[in-house]
Structure 1
Amino acid sequence: MQEVMMMNSTELSMSNTTSGDTSMFCPINPQHISISLLICLTFLVGLLLNIFSLWVFTCKTPEWTSSTVFQVHLAVSDVIICPMGPFMAVYYHTANWIFGKALCRLKIALMTFHIDSSILFLTLISVHRYVVVVRYNQDSYMNRKDFVQKLCFGVWLLVLVKGTVLATILDTSTVDNYTLCLSFQQRQYTDFFFLVNFTVLIPGLLLAFIVSAICYSLLVRSMSRLDISHDSGQAIKNKSCKMVAVCLAIFVVCFTPMSVVRSVGLVVKKFFPLECSLFLKLETAYYVSWVLAGANCCLDPIIYCFSCQKFMKTFHISLRRIGLRFEMGQDESS
């Protein structure tokens, strides 16, 4: 009789586990409100800066160079993700996607478009800077606007296909009465997330970073051989070195933490599913890393300042006008 009871108990335990016993998984963990506020602030500032950048490029820059074309497309890639900031902020704080399946798929697509296109355009800007400055050749393809436009079109086509495929495959899930969208806690997608991360995302980021680092290393070495006895040579060297620092900082500060935390989190989720304390800390770290990833929208306009004198001049004029209007408003109120 006792053996029968033990067998029934074992069968019941196995039945609960296979049917999705929630005690076998980590609880859903809403994030602190500070993460949501930082997400909103970051994307708001990024949206304003990149709208201003596009205004300068389209209205104040009558003649585009091949460099300008890359920068315009980079600004567009930053703008498309910014409107998703409030939706992401609400979701991170409540851990509950209340906006429906269609907006979830749109979020997945836009996040893919933004991250992938930003990485690719930053890499192409690195290659372009190396070719134009170090391997200067007026007939180079990188100096032809029509070729650069086709290259940018190819980037958008690639990210459009990838984003559409991911948005088609992934969907919302209901776990413990929470509706999830693109979350580690979506258990049916754990293997898929793991596969995509380690076969596509991580190799892609590493390759882009290596290419950019090589280009900028060669660029800096070339700059060291410039004749800096004249002001023009000194200016070229200073501007190029600052541009190098900003581009590499975007890779290291904005994209690397997210990739590292995501990779570790997926390993823990797949191979150590009961390590809830560690997993929940990694999940919080991942959402914080999204604040850093969103900061690339705010840092990219610095590149435009270093590469385009017209952009910097227009930026200074706009700041002076804003300051003048602010002072006039204070005088009138007093």
Structure 2
Amino acid sequence: MSNDTVGCQPEQQNISLTIFLCLVYMVGLLLNGFSLWVFIFRMSKWNAGTVLQFNLAISDALASPATPLIAAYFINGNNWTFGPFLCQMKIALLSAHFYGSILFLTLISIHRYVVVVHFKRSSAIKRKAFVKKLCYVVWCFLMVGAVVYAYVLGVTDEDGHTQCLSIHQSKLVKMYFVINFVLFVAGFLLPFTVTVVCYACLARSVTQISDKSMQGHLIKMKSLRMIGLCLVIFAICFFPMNVTRTVAVILKKFYPTECALLLLVEKVYYSSYVLAGINCCLDPLIYFFGSHGFNKAFRNSVKRARGQQERDNRTESDTTSCSVNRNAVYTIS
């Protein structure tokens, strides 16, 4: 294999890719950090939906520690200089981040469908205690997968380049091929299908809700926003990344000498990777539009911040006024 792939050397990515990568994940970190703060410190009552959204925010925040390493990797000409442990940590964090986000988005879609369409029926996913246990199982599944991927996919030396999580790792071609199709089918295709089915049924149901009552209008608008936003996240963020990575591993396994095509697909994949990071910025909109409790806590936090700022300005103004008056008295005397 290595003789066939001579000449397929990694190319340094455009600096704009690194800039966009850092910008996207920095904004995502700020938004999800604020969301977690609202969940923990501003929301006293949680329901099953809140638990799912909180776990989604945690999975979104996992990518942030790996972002500086990825940026340095790109700047250094796709040459990994941080050692095997940090490479494995990067792989584990990214795996838990991307597929945690997909799984929790899928659970949110199932929960939303059950709550709206079958609101009169008793269901386990409506109960907070059950959802907590379900999230625990999901995290155990994600952690086991992350550890396995980090263990079998490590640092390799490829013709003078140290590679980490790269399509150019010729020694790991078979492993990448198997892992990719496991992730593509079980980690993306199956959850995406469940999400589409849930939201299709939900959309059909909410279109029959009357707009005459305020409550009916609010339920309809909230559900339609959730449907549109989740499907946009899947279509823009996760679909391109999973498809281009699948194309890349197929090319590497069956057409290893097509270097120009492989490098082109690699560029598209890294671009889709930046798009995938946008989900960190879009997911907080789910909390805002899909959770009345989060929306209320967010608005109250903003009002408190404004009120504190006004009080600080008023105090500063009063202090300045007193100082001016005191100086005036001293001048007269």
User: Residues 100-249 of structure 1: matches in 2 within 5 Å?
Assistant: 100-137=83-120, 139-249=122-232
The corresponding residue for 2:323 is: none
Distance 1:304 1:23, change over 3 A: closer
CA-to-partner distance for each residue in 1:212-268, whole Å, 9 max, x for gaps? 111111111111111211121111101110011011111111000001111111111
The corresponding residue for 1:42 is: 24
Equivalent AA in structure 1 for residue 156 of structure 2 = S
How far does residue 199 in structure 1 lie from its aligned partner after superposition? Answer: 3.6
How far does residue 138 in structure 1 lie from its aligned partner after superposition? Answer: 6.1
What runs of 5+ residues in structure 1 fail to find an aligned partner? Answer: 1-17
Q: Is 1:83 aligned with 2:73?
A: no
Scaled by the length of structure 2, what TM-score is found?
0.88
Bigger mean CA offset, 163-172 vs 137-146: 137-146
Distance 1:202 1:242, change over 3 A: same
User: Residues 58-77 of structure 1: matches in 2 within 5 Å?
Assistant: 58-77=40-59
What SS does the corresponding residue of 1:24 show, helix, strand or coil?
Answer: coil
CA-to-partner distance for each residue in 1:22-81, whole Å, 9 max, x for gaps? 873412211011111111111111111111111111111101000000000000001111
Distance 1:59 1:294, change over 3 A: same
Contact 1:123/1:209 (CA < 8 Å) preserved in 2? yes
How far does residue 99 in structure 1 lie from its aligned partner after superposition? Answer: 1.1
Contact 1:70/1:125 (CA < 8 Å) preserved in 2? yes
Q: Distance in 2 between matches of 1:181 and 1:322?
A: 46
What SS does the corresponding residue of 2:157 show, helix, strand or coil?
Answer: strand
User: Residues 237-276 of structure 1: matches in 2 within 5 Å?
Assistant: 237-276=220-259
Q: Distance in 2 between matches of 1:72 and 1:245?
A: 20
Q: Distance in 1 between matches of 2:99 and 2:3?
A: 37
Q: Distance in 2 between matches of 1:88 and 1:68?
A: 32
Equivalent AA in structure 2 for residue 91 of structure 1 = Y
Query: Identical aligned pairs, as a percentage?
Result: 44
The corresponding residue for 1:291 is: 274
Bigger mean CA offset, 71-80 vs 84-93: 84-93
Cα-Cα RMSD: 2.2
Equivalent AA in structure 2 for residue 210 of structure 1 = T
Task: After the TM superposition, list the runs of 4 or more consecutive aligned residues in structure 1 that deviate by more than 6 angstroms.
Answer: none
Equivalent AA in structure 1 for residue 104 of structure 2 = F
Equivalent AA in structure 2 for residue 280 of structure 1 = L
Q: Distance in 2 between matches of 1:187 and 1:118?
A: 29
Q: Distance in 1 between matches of 2:260 and 2:141?
A: 38
Contact 2:5/2:257 (CA < 8 Å) preserved in 1? no
What SS does the corresponding residue of 2:162 show, helix, strand or coil?
Answer: strand
Candidates 312, 317, 322, aligned match of 2:295? 312
Contact 1:202/1:259 (CA < 8 Å) preserved in 2? no
Q: Distance in 2 between matches of 1:22 and 1:265?
A: 16
Contact 1:35/1:288 (CA < 8 Å) preserved in 2? yes
Contact 1:74/1:118 (CA < 8 Å) preserved in 2? yes
Equivalent AA in structure 2 for residue 36 of structure 1 = T
Q: Distance in 1 between matches of 2:179 and 2:3?
A: 27
Equivalent AA in structure 1 for residue 83 of structure 2 = G
Contact 1:28/1:176 (CA < 8 Å) preserved in 2? no
How far does residue 319 in structure 1 lie from its aligned partner after superposition? Answer: 5.4
Contact 1:127/1:212 (CA < 8 Å) preserved in 2? yes
Distance 1:323 1:88, change over 3 A: farther
Contact 1:69/1:149 (CA < 8 Å) preserved in 2? yes
